[in-house]
Amino acid sequence: MLATISNELAIKYTTMLPKTCIDEMKNLTDKKIVPSVSQGIRLAIENFITIQKQHEYTNNLKNAAKDAAFIKRTMDTQNDFSYVDQEGVETW
């Protein structure tokens, strides 16, 4: 069954979750923190993906910081724009 969620194609997918997780999600639903168990699970997955992407980005930056060619390109670009960065110092 396909549906749309916020203009995004949604796919029905079956998975196994620990009973305690579902019980906790039902508890959050009862407290009106999330509108439904399904939406709570979707939000949890979206949050997990966001966190993993942030970790990946951080690791990529750490690796780039060790790359001499990347550092040189970055410094060259920064130096190329140093005049433009100083241009806005005057008061209007």
Domain extent listing, the chain: 19-72
Query: pTM above the 0.85 mark?
Result: no
From residue 75, alpha-carbon distances to 62, 72, 82, 86, 91 in Å are: 16, 5, 10, 16, 28
Dump pLDDT digits (tens) for 5-18.
666 788 899 999 99
Distances (CA, A) of 76 to 62, 72, 88: 19, 6, 21
Per-residue pLDDT at 90: 62
Q: For 39-75, how does the pLDDT look when each residue is reduced to its tens digit (9 = 90+)?
A: 999 999 999 999 999 999 999 999 998 999 989 999 9
Backbone φ and ψ of 22, nearest 5° = -65, -40
Distance in angstroms (rounded) separating the CA atoms of residues 72 and 7: 42
Instruction: Indicate if the pLDDT at residue 84 is higher than 80.
Output: no
Q: Which one has a higher pLDDT value, 92 or 46?
A: 46
Whole-angstrom distance, CA of residue 59 vs CA of residue 48: 17
Q: How far is CA 60 from CA 2, 54, 63, 72, in A?
A: 35, 10, 5, 17
65, containing H or E segment: helix 37-65
